[in-house]
Structures are given as C-alpha cells and as structure tokens.
Structure 1
C-alpha cells in the first residue's frame, strides 16, 4: 500500500494551482503570482499531473494567531476517487511537550475503490519526532469541522472551488 501511495503522490510531474476562500465570498478565488487577497479563511493547493488530473487537494484553515496549523490532504486517483485522506495539525500549548515545543498530530486514512476504509495510521509527536501520549495532551485546536469527500468533484464543490 505504501509503495502505491508514494508512487501516486511523488512520481508525477506536477502543476500547482493556489486558491483562497475569503470571508463573505461564496467561491474561492484563484491566487495568481503570489497576490493573496485579504480576509482569508482557507487556502487551497491543487496539484495536477501531466495529463491534468488533480491528484491532491490541500486545504488549510487560516490561523490569525499562528498558534496552530491544520492541513487536510485529499489524495485522488486518475478517476477522481479518493484513496487517502490525511489530517495534519501542529499546535502550541498542548501541555504534553517540553520547552514549549509544538505538538504534531497526523491521522491518515486509506480507502479502496468503494470508499471503504482499509487502513488507518495515527501519530502524535513533538517537533523533534518524539512520540507523545495523547491522554496527556490538551488538543485545544481540534475545533475545525472537516469532511472526507469520496470524489474530487465533491471535494471541490464542498470547498467552494470552481476550476472551470
């Protein structure tokens, strides 16, 4: 499974498109030449392969304080079906790290072609890669609702991205 995952994500030539969801706007705005709009709620990176299939959608809510970082990664096959979803968080004030270090939580799900979960990984570590005990951590930044989409079209629609 991991060999397939690494091949699907790393081996293709990629093109990156960047989008931003702005407060009060119904549709995400394409970001060109690094010119970001004001009042960003979410940023999105869409990665496409050489035949213009979107293989990855990275959605990140914007943190004004900088105390936390959350990424939702949706990996799609050439048919637009989700085969993996990953939620990555990094945050301070967890009370389970030393030296005011950040905690980093990663949850990865793998799916078959019928969208049945076939594998799940969980990791909680500090910035030096040392494992942390979840029951000793305060996960203050686990407040953002998120959805795992079965298809690329559902993901784009759910995130207000119109790539046409």
Structure 2
C-alpha cells in the first residue's frame, strides 16, 4: 500500500485493513502487510498505529535493495549481459515495428529464441546443482517482482511529464 499524505488519526490505520489478511487473499498473513509511506516519518507512523495496535514496526528501507537483488541473480553466471542486451534491442525493435496486436504477438513469440542459451545453461546447472539452481530461481523471481513493483509507480515532480517513456520502458 502507498501513502502519499502524512499519517494522522484513524484513517491510515483503517486504510491498512483491506490488505491485512482478514479480508484479503486467504494465503496472506499479517506478516505480508507492507505500507510504503512517502510523506511521513517512521516515528509519526509508529505513534499513529500504537493508538490502535500493540506493536508497530517501521523497518528502514535500503535504497540499494534492487542492486543487491540484481547482484544475487548475476553471481550465478547464468545470465549474460550481451544476451540480455540483444533481447532488449530485439524487443524494442519489435515493439516499434508492430502496428497491430497480431504483429506484436508474432514478434513477441520470436523473442523466445533470445532466451534459449540461458534456459540451456539453467537446465544444465539444475542437473548438476539442483539446490543452487533453485536458489537462483528464487533470486530471479525476487528480482523480477522487485522490478515490477518499482516500475509500477513513478514520482514526478510538478511540471514534468512522462513524455520520455513508452509502454515498454524508457525511450532511447
């Protein structure tokens, strides 16, 4: 959950209840709740939540989480920078050339060939070191989720636009 206004009173406490696991997904628990507050100090958030809950935890955020996750993925040496760059170039070229959804679907299907070398390396690694391969899979999943989360929102300063962006990412 994102909070863009300073916390005050009962509203931020009740705003968390839809994601608290009681009314949310059956696999969610109280440990899954995370509020990203972009306007309040940690002490203010704790003070407001303590009025209604016995415990309020405000762990500090590490700005390098994404880079740490990327490092964890890349330390397995299964992904190669040049292959990823070739995939990205082909993806953006296909996106630029496709004028219909059917063309994009066809172009998108052609992109799978760029992933074959990494898939083969992973399959071989999985045969030799199954546990480590599963650790790589978990690290990659975490990294992808983190990228998806961070790309789902942007902070724009007043007077700026998103003209430098398109559906697939930043323009070059």
Q: TM-score range by the shorter chain?
A: under 0.3
Structure possessing the higher radius of gyration over alpha carbons:
2
- TM-score under structure 2 normalisation? 0.25
Structure (1/2) with the larger helix percentage: 2
- TM-score under structure 1 normalisation? 0.26
Structure (1/2) with the larger strand percentage: 1
